[in-house]
Amino acid sequence: MDWEERLFATFDDLEQQAAALYDAERAAELGDRARAEYAAVTLAGRLMSSVDDELALDVTGVGTVAGRLVRVAGEWCLLERPGHDWIVPLAAVAAVTGASGRAVPEVAWPAVARLGLGSALRRLADAGEPVVVHRRDGGRHELVPTRVGADFVEGRGPEGREVLVAFPAVAAVQSAST
């Protein structure tokens, strides 16, 4: 091999080393970017991609609630199961089993997904049907919702007394299926 061939072989080797270093740096950078992007994914975003799927929620103060995920909003979700619908504030969800591996970014959510927990509870109050409000501490209230304030739901209990339940205390609201 003459000096010119050795020189070109050395240049080829250096180019290959530089390409390998670039690929290694690029892979690390892409990994960092992927982690940073995923850090912005919310539970609601993951659940949004699971609408119409069967899944199980471990709800603080209630236990496991399994059913078909019907609707997701930024603050709550609606599970449907035979005999009952469950409105569950996402803040009360401890774990989810069966969710899709994908996520839907908030900009792609339908407009109704921006409605708060109060909107869902107002619908129940309008229906006038009895519900069970499960609290995060394990307590529960059987009542017919009558009004919904900014941060509480009001209803009439079985003995006719008014009961106010603050939203932060609500783990789930169980209603009859419609």
End-to-end CA distance of the chain: 85
Residue 161 pLDDT > 60, yes or no? yes
* 3-state class (DSSP) for residue 33: helix
- Mean of the per-residue pLDDT values of the chain: 88
155 and 143 in contact (C-beta within 8 Å)?
yes
Question: pLDDT at residue 19 above 90?
Answer: no
Distance of CA 142 to the CA centre of its chain: 26
Q: Closest by alpha carbon to 66, among 47, 49, 85, 48?
A: 85
Q: Is the pLDDT of residue 31 over 70?
A: no
Predicted pLDDT at 16: 79
CA distance 128 to 148: 12
Q: What is the pLDDT of residue 15?
A: 77
pLDDT tens digits, one per residue of 103-120? 998 888 888 888 999 999
Which residue would you say has higher pLDDT here, 4 or 96? 96
Provide mean pLDDT across the span 84-100: 96
Q: What is the pLDDT of residue 28?
A: 62
Q: What is the DSSP letter of 81?
A: E
